[in-house]
Structure 1
Amino acid sequence: MELKLPELGDNVSAATVVGVLVKEGDRVAPGDPLLELETDKAVMEVPAEAGGVVRRVLVKVGDEVRPGQPFLELAEEAGEEAQAPEAPRAAPAPPKPLEAPSPAPKAPVAPLEEERRLIPAAPSVRRLARELGVDLQQVRGTGLAGRITAEDVRRAAGLLAPSELPPAALPAAQAPKLPDFSRWGPVRTEPMSGVRKATMRSMAQAWAQVPMVTHFDEADITELEGLRKRYAKRAEERGFRLTLTAFLLKALALTLRAFPKFNASIDPEKAEVIFKDYVHIGVAVDTPHGLLVPVIRNVDQKGVLRLAKELQEVSERARERKLAPEEMQGGTFSLSNLGGIGGTGFTPIVNWPEVAILGVSRSQTKPVWDPEKEAFQPRLVMPFSLTYDHRLIDGAEAARFCRHLAQLLEDPLGLALE
């Protein structure tokens, strides 16, 4: 039996082998781990879908592999290993060697492959593919999360002209060839990690798809920081840290509910706006392996302490590379907090197909004019920036969004009541 790699997740077309967990002659049971793969931004195990004896391992550490690619040969019975070499001697006649390999493997493999690859397509799309004679295994989905649409099927059947292709499906411009840098001095090269390659792809796609504008603002978080310090010990007694990011998540969720356009996505093919009735916020986490963005789900339905606990747990899994692919999918808005490192401001890139992202920089104590006391008072001020998709969001809307967020952060009692 030839084992093939299953689908690895939404929009994951390739992975790198980082561990081979079996060798030839090993006996494995269904569910035993066979490989470790680095897929975009996570490391995952590939389990055995059947039991038997490992006859041959077809990949090695460092190989780039794709869904559907054979990676291991498995004998159902140990005795099959001894029979395998005799197969050529059993069919010496001229016609047989050409005919035997053709029908024998293909008949059982096709249904197994159909079951193994989970094709992201609706029943109506599957029916259309059958009517047009299109093999869905060969179709690349251009819909949300890589789903195969009716247009993808018609395109595969040759019923759509190239001019009807959506922008995302059109060939990208070729990058110019690099010069030979070694002409001017010594150089060295190292391969990009899977995380860095995924970041390169997603950032290039976002920059090409989204016309971005960044709006800058700041919030007086003096009272909020006092509240955080007051309850920090209570959180530590429960085994987690109460950080400013947890308060930011709560304030963001409430602001997204008040400004639903910032929690939406654009469908340019249909000229529609997709509003999401859930708030899942991706939080950028700095790890030794690169930037990972796990998603905190249903943020608007959770309290600050619970958000702080979940944030710490998911950040630890990110740094240990134990995030599952689905933990980094489904976000509706993103947050990047660089306040712990430094800086006075930056312009984060929108994480397409989202339409906005918030960047937070280091808070500083500044003199702020107090009209009641007619004097400057020392206040803790947090700078932040909102990058947004100008196709959907106008500058005035972005300014109102930022003011609403700042007011929630400046009034912690109001934030708690909300």
Structure 2
Amino acid sequence: MAYIFNMPDVGEGMAEGEIVAWDVKVGDQVNEEDTLVEIQNDKSVEEITSPVTGTVTKLYYEEGDLAMVGEPLIAFEGEGLEDNEAEAAPASTPESPAQEEKAEDPAPASNGGGSYYKFRLPDVGEGMAEGEIVSWLVSEGDTITEEDSLVEIQNDKSVEEVASPVAGTVKKILVEAGTIANVGDVLAEIDSPEHNGEDDGAEDTSTPSQPAQEAKADEGNDDATGSAASAPATADPNRVIQAMPSVRKYARDKGVDISLVNGTGKNGQITRDDIDNFDPSAQAEGSQEASQQPAPAKEEKAAKKSPAPAPTVSNEDLVERVKISPMRRIISESMTTSKFTAPQVSLFMDVEVSKLWDHRKKFKGIAAERDVKLTFLPYVVKALVAAVKKYPMLNASIDEENREYILKKYYNVGIATDTDNGLFVPNIKNANQKSMFEIANEINEKAARAHAGELTNEEMGDGTITISNIGSAGGEFFTPILNFPEVAILGFGAIKQEPVVNDEGELAVGRVLKLSLTFDHRIVDGAVGQRCLNEVARLLSEPELLLMEG
């Protein structure tokens, strides 16, 4: 019987993994728990073992291929194996049924007869996608007239009152104050005899759907340049139309597709004058011009994440092409995600650390007696933990889906480690609970494991803040990139002898450390970041304070 083993999730929520090496081939007899394949996930190379005993009949991927989690990876045959071939089919197989199901979904504009008028959240700002319900100005059961204020909405810049497009009785408020609603969401139902069954904005979002599909089908046709083909292309099927029912009726009577009309009223509301002034031919010309304009910001952001075009090489004989390793590709993707997700700010500071230098020199021999290599890094770990205890926003992450900050009361400090195989970030778990010597030992042990490629996901996962040591390579100031989703990273530069002014106001030679702090400006303000950096500097300049801070 054919048993198919699907690609497992070998990382924290990974979606795909690269086949680094197969440890079996077709025809091999394997036992349960035998190693089948090595998979590169986001952080390390993991060995995948066999869940069954049997004979390998098929390998679905070659080395170097990307395998999606849940897709067939390897097939077996053997006595007692359950035939799961149908169940293990690729996730893409049910495409046709999914399309049929989608086709059977009712159109969103269809409300059915007898239903109340649906009042939807309009766009009350410049292209806003959502707004917060600040307060309702009416209650269920209230009688309202057209243009009465219904609700206060917080957009990106201000609080706006939104008026009722119809007269009637408020039957149901569907979204409570304090809730975030997306543009187009139904906020309330109004019993308006003249307009019951209508859906604010839905009528117009469905109107251009067929022409839009036809326009898409004709894409690339050089003859499709007339206004009939170009005008519908400007209709956004997701746009919520702001117009009173009387204006909608006026547009229908005049044969104007209101979804193509730009509103000049408050918050982009369409008025009768807009209908009267609408010029279909001008709109068609506008659509042709619009097709040549740059993509919107959202599309531009997505485009930035797309692979760059291949560079032009003038002389192939004088270049060497090296395949990007799985780890380097993952580092690239992680850095890109970090830069395009978090607005990052970096601060820099010189710190006179002669006392730190002497302190390490004093205890270096004692550490060696305990087989501990004492560097400056453990001091930085202790100082950073003490600082973020005072400024917890830097030991946090952002839950964008629930719009919450996650302030972490544990301190897992990542140590960026440069190896021949790429950059790894093992972290010191619960660094606040460990001694200087314990931290030093753990840093050295994990660095050795990183160089040997032996780090586990557990050793690299659940970090809360990171330290990057460019000083070991002779660097000074730099702008470290966040180890996303962390919101802060401390750059540790070289310690060099430089002229300084001492406490007596005299010029002297001191030992100066360069510190760089990068943070996510969505959660950490500049002043908070600077105060945290000041605290790190204070503790490193007076290392005995680290004992007081614990």
Is the 1:53–1:77 contact (alpha carbons within 8 Å) kept by the matching residues of 2?
no
- The aligned runs of 1:254-273 (5 Å cut-off) are 254-273=386-405
8 Å CA contact 2:72–2:88 kept in 1: the answer is: no
Partner of 2:267: none
SS in 2 for 1:56: strand
> Which of residues 31, 34, 55 in structure 1 aligns to 2:33?
31
The counterpart of 1:190, out of the listed 309, 318, 322, is 322
Give, in angstroms, the shift of residue 175 of structure 1: 4.9
Greater helix percent: which structure? 1
> Is residue 493–residue 514 contact of structure 2 (8 Å, CA) maintained in 1?
yes
**5 Å matches for 1:19-418?**
19-77=21-79, 105=84, 109=88, 171-173=302-304, 174-175=306-307, 177-182=309-314, 186-372=318-504, 374-418=505-549
Rounded Cα–Cα distance in structure 2 between residues aligned with 1:358 and 1:162: 43
What stretches of structure 2 of length at least 5 have no aligned partner? 92-104, 106-236, 240-297
How many residue pairs get matched?
344
The amino acid that maps onto 1:226 is: D
CA distance in 2, matches of 1:248, 1:340: 14
Q: Which amino acid aligns with 1:369?
A: V
Distance 1:8 1:402 in 2: 37
In 1, the alpha carbon distance for the partners of 2:84 and 2:77 equals 14
* DSSP 3-state at the match of 2:333: helix
Q: Secondary structure at the match of 2:544?
A: helix
**Residue 352 of structure 1, CA deviation:** 2.0
How far apart are the structure 1 equivalents of 2:372 and 2:24?
38
Q: Aligned partners of 2:316 and 2:452: how far apart in 1? A: 40
Contact 1:41 1:194 in 2 (8 A): no
1:50 & 1:301 partners in 2: Cα distance?
43
Say if 1:318 and 1:217 are closer, same or farther in 2 by CA, change over 3 A: same
User: CA shift at 1:278, angstroms?
Assistant: 1.0
Give the deviation of 1:306 after TM superposition.
Answer: 0.4
Counterpart code for 1:365: Q
Deviation at 1:336, TM superposition (A): 0.3
**Structure 1 residue 109: Cα displacement:** 4.8
Task: Give the drift of 1:295.
Answer: 1.7
Alpha-carbon offset, residue 106 of structure 1: 5.1
1: distance between equivalents of 2:65 and 2:428? 32
Aligned residue type for 2:538: Q
Deviation at 1:310, TM superposition (A): 0.8
Cα deviation for residue 281 of structure 1 reads 1.4
Distance in structure 2 (CA, Å) of the matches to 1:257 and 1:400: 12
**Counterparts of 1:357 and 1:71, CA distance in 2:** 38
SS in 1 for 2:497: strand
What amino acid maps onto 2:421 in structure 1?
A: H
Give distance in 2, aligned partners of 1:32 and 1:235: 43
Structure 1 residues 263, 73: closer, same or farther in 2, change over 3 A?
Answer: same
Superposed CA offset, 1:231-269 (max 9, x none): 223333333311111111111111111110111122344
Which secondary structure state, in structure 2, belongs to the residue aligned with residue 254 of structure 1? helix
Letter in 1 for 2:444: Q
The question of whether the paired residues in 2 share the 8 Å contact of 1:345 and 1:383 is answered with: yes
Deviations 1:259-301 (A, max 9, x none): 1011112234443221111111111101001111112211111
The Cα offsets for residues 345-404 of structure 1, whole Å up to 9 and x where unpaired, read as: 1011122221111111111112222233x5223221101111111222222212211111
Q: Report the structure number with the largest CA radius of gyration.
A: 2
- Say if 2:71 and 2:88, in contact at 8 Å, map to a contact too: no
2:420 maps to a residue whose letter is P
Shift of 1:408: 0.8
Provide the rounded CA distance (Å) in 1 between the counterparts of 2:43 and 2:442: 19
TM-score (norm 1): 0.75
What letter is aligned with 2:476?
Answer: T
CA distance in 1, matches of 2:44, 2:539: 35
**Residue identity in the other structure for 2:466:** S
1:11 is displaced (CA, Å) by: 4.2
Whole-angstrom distance in 1 between the partners of 2:440 and 2:448: 12
Cα drift, residue 335 of structure 1: 0.7
> Which region of structure 1 is more displaced relative to structure 2, 201-210 or 222-231?
222-231
The change in CA–CA distance for 1:58 and 1:391 in structure 2 (over 3 A counts) is closer
Q: Distance in 1 between matches of 2:65 and 2:59?
A: 12
The 2-side partners of 1:381 and 1:254 are apart by 21
CA drift of 1:21 comes to 1.5
Instruction: For residue 340 of structure 1, report the CA deviation from its aligned partner.
Output: 1.2
Name the amino acid aligned to 2:542.
D
**Contact 2:4-2:84 within 8 A present in 1 as well:** no
Q: 2:18 aligns with which of 7, 16, 19?
A: 16
Q: 1:404 to 1:182 in 2, by over 3 A?
A: same
Q: Give CA-to-partner distance per residue, 1:166-196, whole Å, 9 cap, x none.
A: x89x955445533532368743322211111
Does the Cα contact within 8 Å between 1:9 and 1:326 map onto a contact in 2? no
- Contact kept? 1:212, 1:389, Cα under 8 Å: yes
In structure 2, how many angstroms separate the alpha carbons of the residues matched to 1:54 and 1:376? 75
* Paired residue secondary structure (1:216): strand
TM-score (normalizing by structure 2): 0.58
SS in 2 for 1:313: helix
Q: CA deviation at 1:107?
A: 6.1
- Deviation string 1:187-209 (CA, Å, 9 cap, x unpaired) is 33222111111111111111111
Q: Secondary structure at the match of 1:55?
A: strand
Structure 1 residue 46, shift from structure 2 partner: 0.3
- Give the residue type in structure 2 aligned to 1:383: K
Given that residues 37 and 44 in structure 1 are in contact (C-alpha distance below 8 angstroms), is that contact kept between their aligned partners in structure 2?
A: yes
Higher deviation after alignment, 243-252 or 260-269: 260-269
